[in-house]
């Protein structure tokens, strides 16, 4: 199968590079500067799971690139609109889209633009960054992709073949993968986790362990977690007791340095996914009549940061 990754940053570059290692036919659609970098040095991965340097075929636009079976989108949510335009010719040529974004709203936007028959769901779990020299730096022992069809939108035989072929390719790659049919619960579970982690660490500007070191930290984390759970439950996907037990261990471990990537983006003065991850969750809770006082506070805090950044006040 032929796979296109939109971008070759920390997430797309890592998983795409590992698939190339496994013999996959992978191409990256990137901007000119990144294309030059990859042509000169290859795609370089630095990881506790093993370093790698692989050739990275690139295109800068869809025109004349030939058809792809699968297009994987791993951009930040604030770049989704231009990403949709960039992949539109590939989808029109028959490609299936696999987004690896946090939250749920991007699935609605992709489905609206391309139709449910072109979309499968997915998440990734990894901690990476792109170095100033363009190397992909993997910062933990964990790298995983979960993917599959949506419960409400059964796939046809063609899309099922794409899913099956991708699952087979992933089995030979040096990262974990899981095919779930349907995939919805995994997406909602991650949103509950990332909404709570991102919300509390950004609001308090510290790691989860720093919050836990305060008198009210555990109670506030639990309040935010319950608000996120209420949103998932309202949608029909309440997290399991086992999942929540593991989530609490991560969120409430004393001394933990666990924090959301959104906090790192704030500390760098960068753009953030406030509306997509926290804003959308708050709106769903509010519209359903659920208590969302902590979500409201977090969302206001993040919007304040964005307003200050927009006026050049950082």
- Known catalytic residues are 190
Angle (nearest 5°) at CA 224 between 248 and 123: 65
Q: Are strands 96-99 and 70-73 parallel, antiparallel or unpaired?
A: parallel
Q: Exposure pattern of 172-199 as b/e (b: 16+ CB <10 Å)?
A: ebebebebeebbbbbbbbbbbbbbbbbb
Residue 268 is classified by DSSP as: T
Per-residue CA distances from 207 to 4, 213, 214, 244 (Å)? 35, 10, 12, 19
Note whether 21 and 51 are within 8 A (CB).
no
- Residue 104 · residue 277 · CB < 8 Å: no
CB within 8 A of 229, min separation 6: which ones?
192, 238, 239, 244
Q: What is the token pair recorded at 192? A: 């509950």
């Amino acid at each position: 199968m032929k796979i296109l990754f939109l971008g070759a940053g920390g997430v797309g570059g890592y998983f795409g590079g590992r698939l190339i290692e496994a013999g996959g036919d992978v191409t990256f659609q990137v901007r000119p500067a990144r294309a030059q970098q990859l042509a000169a040095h290859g795609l370089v991965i630095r990881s506790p799971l093993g370093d790698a340097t692989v050739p990275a075929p690139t295109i800068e636009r869809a025109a004349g690139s030939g058809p792809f079976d699968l297009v994987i989108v791993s951009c930040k949510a604030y770049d989704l609109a231009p990403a949709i335009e960039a992949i539109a010719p590939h989808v029109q040529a028959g490609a299936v889209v696999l987004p690896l974004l946090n939250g749920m709203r991007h699935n609605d936007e992709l489905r609206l633009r391309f139709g449910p028959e072109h979309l499968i769901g997915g998440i990734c779990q990894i901690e990476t960054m792109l170095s100033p020299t363009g190397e992909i730096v993997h910062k933990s022992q964990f790298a995983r992709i979960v993917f599959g069809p949506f419960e409400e939108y059964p796939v046809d035989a063609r899309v099922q073949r794409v899913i099956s072929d991708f699952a087979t390719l992933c089995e030979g790659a040096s990262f974990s993968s899981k095919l779930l049919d349907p995939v919805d619960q995994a997406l909602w579970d991650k949103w509950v986790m990332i909404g709570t982690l991102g919300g509390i660490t950004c609001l308090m500007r510290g790691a989860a362990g720093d919050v836990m070191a305060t008198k009210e930290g555990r109670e506030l984390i639990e309040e935010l977690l319950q608000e996120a759970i209420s949103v998932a439950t309202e949608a029909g996907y309440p997290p399991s007791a086992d999942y929540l037990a593991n989530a609490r261990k991560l969120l409430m471990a004393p001394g933990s340095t666990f924090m959301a990537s959104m906090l790192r983006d704030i500390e760098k003065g960068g753009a953030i996914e406030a509306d997509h991850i926290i804003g959308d969750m708050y709106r769903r809770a509010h519209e359903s009549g659920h208590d969302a006082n902590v979500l409201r506070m977090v969302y206001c805090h993040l919007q304040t940061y964005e307003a200050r950044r927009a006026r050049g006040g950082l």
